[in-house]
Structure 1
Amino acid sequence: MRGSSMTAISMKKLRYIKAELIKNKHALVLLAPFFILFGIFTVIPVFMSVVLSFTYFNMLEMPRWVGWDNYARLFVADDVFLIALKNTFLFAFITGPISYIACFLFAWLINELPPKLRAVLTLILYAPSIAGNTYLIWQTLFSSDSYGYMNSFLVKWGFILEPIQWLQDPRYMLPILMIVQLWLSLGTSFLAFIAGLQNVDRSLYEAGAIDGIRNRWQELWFITLPAMRPQLMFGAVIQITSAFAVAEISIYMIGFPSVDYAAHTIVTHLVDYGTIRFQMGYASAIATILFAIMMGTNLITQKLLRKVGE
């Protein structure tokens, strides 16, 4: 009796799904190219990477199954990976939240300005994230000779007697990279927050005033942030991804590899084994670990964002 009722429920669900597919067939046809490309170039490569992480694969021979050896090597025998892991977490936990909050605060403040002024300031703040010569500016600022702006200023005013090797000294490498990352952080998330603020229904603020909201901070917590949950989640994903996937800044500014691996990250370690040594099985294990870290961080962020406005 119970089995027949379960079958009836399943048939009812299938009929409902079929009816919805027929009802939305035009939308599904339009979305099909995106899903096909997403599956081919994202889902399948991720799945293949996870499978390859359990193999030895040098791109010349067929993959050979080695089980958990790559992961054991990562955490037991690879000291450089542990340094990269520490650097990546330190970098992400400092720059990620700061850049996320900065994106929202700048967007919130700019949103209150007149349209023309808002457009100009948005362009000015967004420009560094798309500028192609960003690293040249910071390399000139932190140049190791006396002609570097920072050394020139410190020597001129008597703070130091000789130039500091900013980009060669392990003590300064990671903090400089953090500063550059924060400067570049007003990118896609910043634009998404401005768009979200523009789309908040203004009538909600009137209703909130009637219900007892008395200041801007209450408006922000109980109305603005809950109304922007999709944009907040999108911005969080972008900021988390950029914080954990940092590599380009390190390679272009510090060099590869960096002195004492002081600026080495998980992605630069992945680049080392994937594109230089061609140990694709080991590189896939590194990529899988990074993917798991990003997924876990995103899930935690989702849970935190659900509490906004409570």
Structure 2
Amino acid sequence: MAPFFLLFFIFTAFPVLMAFALSFTYYNVLETPKWVGWDNYATLFIKDDVFLIALKNTLLFALVTGPLSYIACFLLAWLINELSPKIRAVVTLLFYAPSISGNVYLIWQVGFSGDSFGYVNAFLIKWGFILEPIQWLQDPKYMLAIVMVVQLWLSLGTAFLAFIAGLQSMDQTLVEAGAIDGVQNRWQELWFITLPTMRPQLMFGAVMQITSSFAVADVATNMVGFPSPQYAAHTIVTHLNDYGSIRFEMGYACAIATVLFIMMLGTNILVQKLLRKVGD
């Protein structure tokens, strides 16, 4: 196990610890880091209005897309598992394909195009719901909702496959034993047998969905641009990219990353406690 732990420390644990240490400094890559204490964190929550917008958008995004995508992944996997093997393989590929396809945003950009040729505008105009095209990807009222929809569409990825694998590897003798012990329908079988058996896959899926919902950036950048108008779809990760990759204020960027890490860690601990109660 030594090679794994060595690589884990070098490429995962050490960068996290280094980022936490740099978050208390002013560091622009060219000069030696200068200790500033809690100034970066004070600036984040007191002076940086854009970060507060990004924080609100990220929390709203995580609260909506995280649970919805997690539940959708499991329910679809549970339903697909009932199909015959050949049909199941095809349907699994169809649901998983968007998460591995290149430039999938083009479909949604055409659909929500701001002219009358966009699919959504064309449909609404044809049926008399609107008289003029709506600028879906430029109007702050619609941006975050559209990004959420696209993210939900892309969310059937690794967690979805983990749930499929967990359902496929479940010991069927447990189902037979449950029927003898009084399990009367599929819902009781799901709660008392399937979910407790799949706790490792459920935990893995939860971690993946929490990470993707908090770390959303590519969807927002590709759909509404960077920065988005009035920062309507600005997230913590896009704010991090701004200071880390464009301004090269690495100390401040590390403070942003530390706040995001703490949010993810706290959410994961909470979800772990909830999943331990499954089947009780």
1:126 to partner: Cα distance = 0.3
Which of 259, 262, 272 pairs up with 2:232? Answer: 262
Whether 1:243 aligns to 2:213 is yes
- Distance in 1 (alpha carbons) for counterparts of 2:220 and 2:176: 48
Per-residue CA distance 1:178-220 (angstroms, 9 max, x = gap): 0000100110000000000011110111111111110000000
1:221 to partner: Cα distance = 0.3
Aligned CA-pair RMSD: 0.7
2:247 match: 277
Which of 34, 37, 60 pairs up with 2:4? Answer: 34
Which of 44, 63, 68 pairs up with 2:38? Answer: 68
- Distance in 2 (alpha carbons) for counterparts of 1:34 and 1:156: 59
1:299 match: 269
Per-residue CA distance 1:64-93 (angstroms, 9 max, x = gap): 000000000000000000000000000000
- Distance in 1 (alpha carbons) for counterparts of 2:7 and 2:108: 37
1:36 to partner: Cα distance = 2.1
1:152 match: 122
- Distance in 2 (alpha carbons) for counterparts of 1:205 and 1:151: 50
1:33 to partner: Cα distance = 2.9
1:227 match: 197
1:247 to partner: Cα distance = 0.2
- Distance in 1 (alpha carbons) for counterparts of 2:205 and 2:258: 23
1:290 match: 260
- Distance in 1 (alpha carbons) for counterparts of 2:6 and 2:135: 50
Which of 48, 54, 69 pairs up with 2:18? Answer: 48
What TM-score does the superposition give when structure 1 sets the normalisation length?
0.89
2:188 match: 218
- Distance in 1 (alpha carbons) for counterparts of 2:47 and 2:103: 38
Per-residue CA distance 1:102-124 (angstroms, 9 max, x = gap): 00000000001110000000000
Structure 1, 195-204 or 297-306: larger mean CA deviation: 195-204
Which of 61, 72, 77 pairs up with 1:102? Answer: 72
- Distance in 2 (alpha carbons) for counterparts of 1:194 and 1:169: 39
- Distance in 1 (alpha carbons) for counterparts of 2:169 and 2:123: 46
1:60 to partner: Cα distance = 1.4
- Distance in 2 (alpha carbons) for counterparts of 1:35 and 1:111: 36
Determine which structure has more spread, i.e. the larger CA radius of gyration. Answer: 1
1:40 to partner: Cα distance = 1.0
Which amino acid is the alignment partner of residue 61 of structure 1? E
Which amino acid is the alignment partner of residue 38 of structure 1? F
Per-residue CA distance 1:7-64 (angstroms, 9 max, x = gap): xxxxxxxxxxxxxxxxxxxxx3xxx333222211111100000000000001111000
- Distance in 2 (alpha carbons) for counterparts of 1:205 and 1:60: 62
- Distance in 2 (alpha carbons) for counterparts of 1:209 and 1:162: 60
Which of 92, 96, 112 pairs up with 1:122? Answer: 92
Which amino acid is the alignment partner of residue 190 of structure 1? F
Which amino acid is the alignment partner of residue 255 of structure 2? A
Per-residue CA distance 1:147-178 (angstroms, 9 max, x = gap): 11111111111111111000000000000000
Which amino acid is the alignment partner of residue 74 of structure 1? L
- Distance in 2 (alpha carbons) for counterparts of 1:308 and 1:192: 18
Which amino acid is the alignment partner of residue 218 of structure 1? Q
2:50 match: 80
1:97 to partner: Cα distance = 0.2
Secondary structure in structure 1 of the residue aligned to 2:131: coil
What TM-score does the superposition give when structure 2 sets the normalisation length?
0.99
1:21 match: none
- Distance in 1 (alpha carbons) for counterparts of 2:11 and 2:110: 38
- Distance in 1 (alpha carbons) for counterparts of 2:158 and 2:3: 24
Secondary structure in structure 1 of the residue aligned to 2:79: helix
Which of 142, 157, 169 pairs up with 1:187? Answer: 157
Structure 1, 262-271 or 149-158: larger mean CA deviation: 149-158
Secondary structure in structure 1 of the residue aligned to 2:278: coil
1:209 match: 179
Which of 80, 101, 113 pairs up with 1:143? Answer: 113
- Distance in 2 (alpha carbons) for counterparts of 1:209 and 1:174: 46
- Distance in 2 (alpha carbons) for counterparts of 1:252 and 1:179: 14
- Distance in 2 (alpha carbons) for counterparts of 1:204 and 1:145: 57
Q: Which runs of 5+ in 1 are unaligned?
A: 1-27
Identical positions, percent? 75
